[in-house]
Amino acid sequence: MTDAKYHAPETGSLEGRVFRPATLEELREAVELAFDYRGDITVELKAGGQVTGYLFNRTATGEQPTIELFPATSSGTMTIPYSEVATIAFTGEDTATGKSWEAWISKKDSERRREVDRAAADAKARGHL
């Protein structure tokens, strides 16, 4: 069972939101939201500067929790310690906004129906039906 507090509601998107966590717990929650986000984020660093990319992994426990990004401007990966994160902004387009499980199921059902109709038409053209 997933904890709903870490997930964006299906009806909305985090796109455009900025999180400025004041505590480690708030940072952990923001990182979980960013991990579930299907677009790029921008991390503002406490030392200055920022990194934009896709958050693909995070390690929330241990002596030095980290996030891992695929930077938008370079190849490879980048690891950033939680202790260096000042803000997390959801700057990229959320590519899954409005694409719920029900929409996916409906699309697959429609594709299957088209395939059945095509197969039936082929069989009829060959005189099998």
Tell which wins on pLDDT, 81 or 9.
Answer: 81
pLDDT tens digit sequence for 22-45: 999 999 999 999 999 989 999 999
Sorted by where each begins, the domain ranges of the chain are 4-89, 99-129
So what's the pLDDT on residue 101?
63
Q: Is 90 exposed, middle or buried (0-12, 13-18, 19+ CB in 10 A)?
A: buried
pTM for the model stands at 0.66
Among residues 45, 55, 26, the alpha carbon closest in space to that of 87 is found at 45
Q: What secondary structure letter does DSSP report for 91? A: -
CA distance 69 to 37: 12
Mean pLDDT across the chain, nearest whole number? 85
* Of residues 6 and 78, more confidently modeled: 78
Average pLDDT over residues 98-114: 76
- Fold for 4-89, please state it: SH3 type barrels. (2.30.30)
The pLDDT value given to residue 8: 40
